[in-house]
Amino acid sequence: MNYNSTIYIAGHNGMVGSAIWRILSAKGYVNLVGATSKELDLRNQQAVSDFMQKSKPDVIIDAAAKVGGILANNNFPYQFLMENMQIQNNLIDSAHRLGVDKFIFLGSSCIYPKLAPQPLREEYLLTDSLEPTNEWYALAKITGVKACQAIRKQFGKDYFSLMPTNLYGTQDNFDLNTSHVLPAMMRKFHEAKENNHASVTLWGSGTPMREFLFVDDMAEAVVFALENKLRDYLYNVGTGEDLTIKQLAETIQKIVGHEGEIIWDDSKPDGTPRKLMDISKMHALGWKHKVNLEAGIQKTYTWFLENIKTFKEVKM
């Protein structure tokens, strides 16, 4: 890698892609390539192929995906399965056919079995059944992991996958119908605070345990992988620390300044009981996260307040 290498970041306007772009730019990489969804429909095979032939990237980072929380996954299983497969298959296949030697595929910890031993190790992939509430997204991501592994095995190219734990941070999605748990809680607590500290109802029992990684730390992991040759096809990326959803809610509530009651609706699904990543492989290579959860939530809430009018106009 050198600072003049052409690096295409698919999904460069999203939370993860924009963080990767920002950090690469700060490090001095000058030939970054991106295309908005209006400029390039990644679900269109021919359009992706044409774009690749024109931009001729040396490296592709796939941070593009259709994402959402439990509600969105439950309501739109076909889109979460098919659109994610279309996006990643078009990118991976075009990269291979056009001779791109390095491809970084970003997935999710939901690829691992629902009841896999904790913490989740890379070798647990495909050893048991998935969590039903997000299996469609997980199945799509598993096919991406395996496609990169197949190219690596058959053609010797540097194609590999990074599996992040739950990500959050600046430019997150705060739409209550499609967002993940942390940004959804943040918006609920903020709006309740604005409404005379009204009570906040949250899904589930609050007992499941989750791990959270600030998006800039994920971007740093991607850059680390970009600048080093990784020996294996799959690496977990996380903090190695988790907490209950109830503890998460109380942390966000404190940072937001909400003083009302929290009501837990245990008629709603909890999802996987625990998802903690074993990140020893990345640690052995020399990468480690820097931002602790409370500091990351504070950074995210600051960004939320600075941009609230913009995303309220778009998403409400």
pLDDT above 60: residue 108: yes
Structure tokens at 187: 């918006």
* Residue 309 or residue 103, greater confidence: 103
Q: What is the pLDDT of residue 313?
A: 43
User: What CA–CA distance (Å, rounded) separates 213 from 290?
Assistant: 10
Among candidate residues 32, 1, 4, the one with its CA nearest the CA of residue 18:
32
Q: What does the block give as tokens for 62? A: 């796939």
DSSP tag of 130: P
237 vs 43, 100, 224, CA distance in Å?
27, 24, 11
Task: Give SS3 for 146.
Answer: helix
Residue 207: CB atoms within 10 Å? 13
- The reply to whether 137 belongs to the active site is yes
Distance of alpha carbon 63 from alpha carbon 61, whole angstroms: 6
Q: Cβ distance 195 to 214 under 8 Å?
A: no
Over residues 147-196, the pLDDT tens digits come to 999 999 999 999 999 999 999 999 998 988 778 899 999 999 999 999 99
**Which of 164, 268, 252 lies closest to 216 in space, CA to CA?**
164
Residue bearing the bigger pLDDT, 42 or 1 = 42
The topology (CATH level 3) of 6-315 is Rossmann fold (3.40.50)
* pLDDT higher than 80, residue 69: no
Give, as one character, the DSSP assignment of residue 121. P
User: CA angle at residue 53 from 52 to 55, to 5 degrees?
Assistant: 60
**pLDDT confidence tier of residue 224, bands split at 50, 70 and 90:** very high
Output the pLDDT for position 105. Answer: 98
Pure H helices in the chain: 15-27, 45-55, 70-75, 77-97, 135-155, 181-194, 215-227, 245-256, 280-285, 293-315
282 contacts 217 by C-beta, under 8 angstroms: no
Band of the pLDDT at 82, cuts 50, 70, 90? very high
Q: How many CA atoms lie within 13 A of 110 on its CB side?
A: 23
Chain-wide mean pLDDT for the chain?
94
- 106 vs 145: CA distance, rounded Å: 9
Q: Tell me what pLDDT residue 153 has.
A: 97
| Average pLDDT for 137-143 | 97
Could you tell me which residues come within 8 angstroms of residue 99 by beta carbon, excluding any fewer than 6 positions away? none
Distances in Å between the Cα of 103 and the Cα atoms of 20, 38, 140, 233, 271 are 14, 23, 17, 11, 31
Q: Please, what sign has the CA dihedral across residues 170, 242, 256, 199?
A: positive
Catalytically annotated residue among 8, 29, 137, 233 = 137
Q: What is the pTM of this model?
A: 0.92
Q: Which residues contact 146 (CB under 8 A, 6 or more apart)?
A: none
CA 285 to chain CA mean position, Å = 21
Query: Model confidence at 316, in pLDDT bands (50, 70, 90)?
Result: very low
pLDDT at 311: 66
